[in-house]
Structure 1
Amino acid sequence: MSDVRSAVSPCGRIAEPLQVIRLSIDSVDAARRQFPGYRLTRLVGARLELDEKDIDRLSDMLGVDLLRPVAGASKPFDHHLRHVIALYELSALFRDDGHAPYHHAIRPTGYDYHRDKVDPSGMELWRADYRVMPDVRQMMAASIRWLHRAGKDNVWLRRVPCTWHAAEAIACLRANGAFEDWARLYALYPGW
């Protein structure tokens, strides 16, 4: 077994998303065999099914306190979301429109929110910017979008790469040093 700690609860069961994460870290091939159709979008969407104990188990599995406080950050998800957008250079895809408090103000570009409809040229630019990004940045952007929607997205992520198997996505995020940032975003997510 890898250096990842067990996520088994005292009753011997763990939530399926945590099983996928744990097995993916241990063996991408084994995770693909056991969870053949489990996409990253499903993993992100399953976040709403997890409770505080599950997030504690995820932290234990990774050996990292995903919920650790950050000095001066009263809203940890908002702080980390903005950090991820800056660190992974996703500002062409997401902007702070200032019309809501904290992370609620972060919205994807390419949409006219006053008219509640797609801005065709803005959406074309969003998709073009997304397509030229390396996979790790696409995975972070898609994950933010899925968190924003609390599930699948058929507007921004239409006709762009986003169908990664969860195990392959986790392997890519880990290989690029982005998995802890992704996991912290996942763990801190309070809903949009």
Structure 2
Amino acid sequence: MQLDYHTKALRRLAEIGVHILPSGQFAFTDVGTASEAYVHHSTVPAALAAYAAVNPTFAGGRFPGLTLTAIVDKVPCMDGEEYTALALACGAEVPTFESSGKRLRVFGQTLLDILERYELYGCFERVKPYGSEGHHYSVRPIGFDWGGSWAPVPERMKAMRKCYRSMTPLQQVITLTVLHLYRPERDTHFLIGGCPTKILAADAMKILHSNGAAADWGRLVSHYAGW
């Protein structure tokens, strides 16, 4: 099954004008195809990542105005081929589809690793888990009374936003990704009130690649298992 998804992902990438060279680098098979091929809405995250792996400027022009949060909000709609194509474009391993339980475990552990590695606990916290198997069920954005009333806590929300505004661009990209994987919709609770969240998707990919973080991001997103 893993091999099948890998083969189909390569075919999907070829359909939008991209292939992988023997060196592992991404390249256009045909710029015309890459510029004009139809891209289904659920394939957009993988296509953006693939085009950015070749040329971030091209990716930005191919999807003008497309934000990071817009592609992350599409992640729950993706299928196995699209998850695999995205992972390959980011230099991550082919995601597992062995079982839902394993995907939950990989996603949860990857999330914890990323929160620690990129020092994001100023915006997220561990709470009593409400689900099983995946560690992500114990992670929540800071700002609500998760252990009691689930009501907003204004001073904690204010501190979380202040922390976000002080982050590096890389930390902001990953924080936005995690927040929108947790709640894949327009944010009306957490990073509002002037927080810089309208990061273009192509710029986000450039930030990830330039900081050596694309594979971590790709592993997390391609193993999304619900939250």
Does the pair score TM above 0.5? Answer: yes
Cα deviation 1:127-160 (Å, max 9, x = unaligned): 1111111010011111100000022312111121
Residue 152 of structure 1 is matched in structure 2 by: 186
Residue 159 of structure 2 is matched in structure 1 by: 125
Query: 2:80 aligned with 1:58, yes or no?
Result: no
Residue 108 of structure 1 is matched in structure 2 by: 141
Residue 4 of structure 1 is matched in structure 2 by: 26
What TM-score do the two structures reach when normalised by structure 2?
0.74
Query: 2:61 aligned with 1:39, yes or no?
Result: no
Residue 129 of structure 2 is matched in structure 1 by: 99
Larger RCO of the pair (alpha carbons < 8 Å, separation 6+): 1
Residue 57 of structure 2 is matched in structure 1 by: 29
> What is the one-letter code of the residue matched to 1:97?
V
Query: Alpha carbons of 1:13 and 1:53: their partners in 2 closer, same or farther (altered >3 Å)?
Result: farther
- More displaced stretch, 98-107 vs 116-125: 98-107
1:107: Cα distance to partner?
Answer: 0.5
Kept after mapping to 2: 8 A contact 1:6/1:61: no
What TM-score do the two structures reach when normalised by structure 1?
0.86
Distance 2:94 2:119 in 1: 22
Kept after mapping to 2: 8 A contact 1:66/1:188: no
Residues 112-191 of structure 1 aligned to structure 2 (within 5 Å): 112-113=145-146, 114-158=148-192, 159-191=194-226
> What is the one-letter code of the residue matched to 2:213?
A
Distance 2:71 2:92 in 1: 19
Cα deviation 1:51-110 (Å, max 9, x = unaligned): 1121222234345314269xxx95101100000000001112111112323311111112
Kept after mapping to 1: 8 A contact 2:122/2:160: yes
Residue 19 of structure 1 is matched in structure 2 by: 47
Distance 1:107 1:98 in 2: 10
> What is the one-letter code of the residue matched to 2:46?
L
Q: Which runs of 5+ in 1 are unaligned?
A: none
Query: Alpha carbons of 1:185 and 1:63: their partners in 2 closer, same or farther (altered >3 Å)?
Result: closer
**RMSD of aligned alpha carbons:** 2.4
> What is the one-letter code of the residue matched to 1:82?
L
Distance 1:56 1:64 in 2: 9
> What is the one-letter code of the residue matched to 2:119?
E
Query: Alpha carbons of 1:63 and 1:146: their partners in 2 closer, same or farther (altered >3 Å)?
Result: closer
> What is the one-letter code of the residue matched to 1:57?
A
Kept after mapping to 2: 8 A contact 1:130/1:138: yes
SS at match of 1:123: helix
